[in-house]
Structure 1
């Protein structure tokens, strides 16, 4: 067992505007031997100079520079360097609030079998920190089975594959050879594996993570056809991982269906909010994969058996929401 509780891994690429605020918030609660690993992913702005100037002298901060390869490769580099019991992947433009490390420490002391530390999160618009909306919202708290936590998030619609939505035991990551690898949509398989391969989770009732929604970021920008195809391929790889990882679990059929329903709705909404048609390969997957499961209600029946009608109905809701937001 390591005497280092936590390794925070921050992939950074051209984030000179945000990186100091992000790291300063973490330093309020992280001291040696816990560690912050900043992986400079070949930044071409002043990110590396700022990091070296502000944190190069601190014993709890490690700074690694790599050739630009994307956030997934940078996180994998951080994993190789990490020594903590838990790994936490923080994005360089977001904020972790006080209490996160203290609760993780208390939980690990009381429940050393914990493999996944989960918490709530919220989003804020750039320049409007005081205006927030919920992101990940857990319906259960305390000691839980990891797959039940996964199921709960899928059912309430707040599941995200974002790697910042939990801290995970490093031994679990190494045991299952979990890595990010891909340059885009790199966290789908990793996060899914974290939930289905672990057994013991702790769910905090607190909101520890504040996600910044940046103007002009991928989250807010118009997405290309290639983006949707890559997103679909990431979904299919993650779905295959789910089927293999669950094996003969009694929850296999339930979790497969919940993951499919959640993913189908998300891919539909991504297209509709983008103002583009839902790709036909998504519609075909809904019919084929969804058709292997019994719908629980009329909405699921429409989604599986009348996907085009379901999409038209959702488009009415989306257009109404967009008009209200304008």
Structure 2
């Protein structure tokens, strides 16, 4: 079903949640991309998370110009806390999240609603590209067809990083998934990894389209950037919580989880330029899982190669990834 083929009467209210913090330079681009959506039945939450710049005023100006916009001003609590504040107030049938330095195509919401309605899906997923200031797009090539998963297969696919990622953004969620106690963990990085699998586990169907409709802006201070900070060790807390949950509730998915965690451990490990206690902890975790990941044919080739090279020492892994990055 194409976006224009949404059945008459199937235009439910969609709650768009945009956390706002220190994005004065990019906020208008984001909000404007939502206001011009071809799908207009929206309530738009701009959550000013105690931003010290002019973002609060920009949000208020938008709310005066468009009645669909609702502004929440709150003390700084982080991305998760900002999302949660709006989730608690959302009145839509569906929720979608957009980061305030990103932007979307004009049919972003219409595409996702069409996907959810036509497949009776609890979660609908679109594809994304990375965007830089110089206009450079690092394209994640989408698959050719729409795919529909049950919850187990969707979690496995996501952890193996095949058809979609763990990100909160770029997805449409049935609001009933949040009616229980599922919320984003306050104060932790990798909050999407910690939460998306829970939402999928509560879903009957997850529909994934090949359409690119989300632009993820690559900032120098982005969490996926190359700079290490001790805060990134939050991955260990997230990992421990997920491992306990999977052992109790989804033991058949422990292998893909270990593959995904190993990939993240490698990413953070490579950001540490000089050996320290964090480096040693991550290296221990990599060695703990490397054997099972190496022999898992479903794991990404790059991750398996890194696990193989780990037997020759950490310098081999660093050389391998430096070589890959230089060829990009």
Q: Secondary structure at 1:309's aligned position in 2?
A: coil
Give the 5 Å matches for 1:135-284.
Answer: 135=140, 137=142, 141-156=146-161, 160-175=165-180, 177-185=181-189, 186-220=191-225, 222-224=227-229, 226-246=230-250, 252-253=251-252, 255-277=253-275, 279-284=279-284
Using the size of structure 1 for normalisation, the TM-score is 0.83
Which stretch of the first structure deviates more once superposed, 142-151 or 88-97? 142-151
Decide whether the 8 Å contact of 2:37 with 2:107 is kept in 1.
Answer: yes
2-side partners of 1:84 and 1:144: how far apart? 24
Match for residue 118 of structure 1?
A: 125
Long gaps (5+) in structure 2? 1-9
Which residue of structure 1 lines up, in the alignment, with residue 319 of structure 2?
A: 316
Deviations 1:42-73 (A, max 9, x none): 11111111121233331211111001111110
TM-score with structure 2 setting the length: 0.83
Find the residue that maps to 1:49 and give its secondary structure.
Answer: helix
For residues 106-155 of structure 1, what are the alpha-carbon distances to aligned partners after superposition, in whole Å with 9 as ceiling and x for unaligned?
Answer: 2343333x111111111012x123x2113585586233223323322333
Match in the other structure for 1:128: 134
- Please give the residue correspondences for 1:92-103 in structure 2 after superposition, counting only pairs within 5 Å: 92-103=100-111
More displaced 10-residue stretch of structure 1: 7-16 or 213-222: 213-222
Aligned-residue RMSD, C-alpha: 3.0
Larger CA deviation: 16-25 vs 210-219: 210-219
Q: Tell me if structure 2 keeps the 8 A contact 1:138–1:152.
A: no
| Residue in 2 that maps onto 1:29 | 37
Gaps of 5+ in 1: 247-251
Q: Distance in 2 between matches of 1:57 and 1:245?
A: 48
Aligned position for 2:295? 295
After TM superposition, which residue ranges in structure 1, 4 or more long, deviate above 6 angstroms? 290-294, 298-306
Deviation at 1:231, TM superposition (A): 2.0
Q: 1:293 to 1:156 in 2, by over 3 A?
A: closer
**What SS is found at the alignment partner of 2:241?**
helix
Secondary structure of the equivalent of 2:92? coil
Q: Does residue 1:64 correspond to 2:72, yes or no? A: yes
Alignment: residue pair count: 313
SS at match of 1:87: strand
